[in-house]
Structure 1
């Protein structure tokens, strides 16, 4: 069981640490919200979505995405459109005031955006299915649950730490210019992922 736990820790960090849309959005909101508690909606939503994806992958339910190619293309299509929208929303945030920006990203909007970048992100889906789902097959009974539980715990701790790091950075930005720049960088990252996904979708359709 110890082997399963260590494996889960390494695998989970390997999947969630790289810069991606979900991480960018969680860090961004942690930095822009006036208090850490105001960023909890995005933290909890991202972590819950990851938990759902992990459980689905381990149980084999999410293998439907790999079984039906057309379903993967539909997910890619929706994901691209939503990422373009998110990038536009971040880029046009001209206000340099963290408090003003926090008012725009209400708890409801945080939840909607976080759920969308988590569940409409084909890379997140395929990574979870192909990596965590496949690796879970190496274990049975208690060991499999230990592996699954470990990846879920790491995911929750990561998003909490990411938002906390963002909040620390936000406290250092009294002028708000750093946060404005962060929005621009976040938008470029989101658009970059959307373009990459569009290229992959074109390859699938072709």
Structure 2
């Protein structure tokens, strides 16, 4: 359960950010165009990358036993920097409105292609899911690693479906810079807490 909660918290912290993909999902929700298909594709992509990271690091661990330590310190450094970026964003908040997203596809095929492009053409998605989440997943073994990965996948599903179907109610909230300031501050706290926990676990080990 602890591993699942850690995965859920980290996954949520990484995915909740102003970006083209989230803006597009929000816009589709506002227009009520292919909402389920777009949200589901985003979830499938995230789940696949998370599974690839967790599984890949498990295999690589056999060849490089010191990898978990390297990943832990690297993850702590990245999360620390990420938290600082979130706190900086909280000082200079932006807003997320339908106009920030890419133009939605006129049909299902167009919407799915746009979703694929926004999801896979962003290099940060691989850093977050495959490298960072995969590296931290390597800290767990057996069912705990699976629970961590499932927790991260659950965070993705909750966010994308919640954003897509709650768009009409959430739009006024996300259009308010003050709301993003609070959200960015929360994400920064989550990232900082996880980074500190990684450092403590390495020093105590």
Question: Do both share a fold (TM > 0.5)?
Answer: yes
1:182 deviation in Å? 4.7
* Distance in 2 between residues matched to 1:18 and 1:78, nearest whole Å: 16
* Distance in 1 between residues matched to 2:150 and 2:78, nearest whole Å: 29
Structure 2 spans left out of the alignment, 5+ residues? 29-34, 103-116
TM (normalized to structure 2)? 0.56
1:112 aligns with 2:123: yes
**Contact conserved, 2:7 with 2:151, CA < 8 A, in 1?**
no
Alignment size in residue pairs: 178
Cα separation, partners in 2 of 1:88 and 1:119, compared to 1, 3 Å: farther
**Contact conserved, 1:25 with 1:114, CA < 8 A, in 2?**
no
1:167 deviation in Å? 1.6
Q: Equivalent residue for 1:98?
A: 97
1:163 deviation in Å? 0.4
Q: Equivalent residue for 1:177?
A: 173
TM (normalized to structure 1)? 0.56
1:79 deviation in Å? 3.3
Q: Equivalent residue for 1:134?
A: 142
**1:155-194 paired onto structure 2 within 5 Å:** 159-173=156-170, 176-180=172-176, 181-194=178-191
**Contact conserved, 1:45 with 1:115, CA < 8 A, in 2?**
no
Structure 1 spans left out of the alignment, 5+ residues? 1-9, 138-147
Q: Equivalent residue for 2:16?
A: 24
Paired residue secondary structure (2:94): coil
* Distance in 2 between residues matched to 1:101 and 1:177, nearest whole Å: 15
1:64-87 residue CA offsets vs partner (Å, 9 max, x unmatched)? 475563553233223322443355
